[in-house]
Amino acid sequence: MTTDSPRWFTSSYSNNGGDCVEVAVNVPGIVPVRDTKDRDTGTLTFRTDSWSAFVQFASQKDTP
């Protein structure tokens, strides 16, 4: 389901420390990202395929 307004959320790993980003995944074709400490500064916008590749890369475990 999509809406006109982004529905923002933070990762369950963010630990509510305030030093994290919020993303919205309900916007067709893009993933907007913003800073939780300064939400009015603006957003970075990524294509959904680029964001998926980033998340997959970031979630890989370090291997020696």
The pLDDT profile of the chain, 64 residues, written as one tens digit per residue, is: 455 689 999 877 777 666 788 999 899 999 999 988 888 889 999 999 999 999 899 888 665 5
User: On the CB side of 24, how many CA atoms lie within 13 Å of its CA?
Assistant: 21
* Assigned domain for 57 exists: no
In the chain, the number of structural domains is: 1
pTM score, two decimals?
0.74
Please count the residues of the chain.
64
Q: Which domain holds residue 34?
A: 8-52
The confidence score (pLDDT) of residue 63 equals: 55
The confidence score (pLDDT) of residue 48 equals: 95
Strands, E, within the chain: which ranges? 8-9, 21-24, 30-35, 44-47
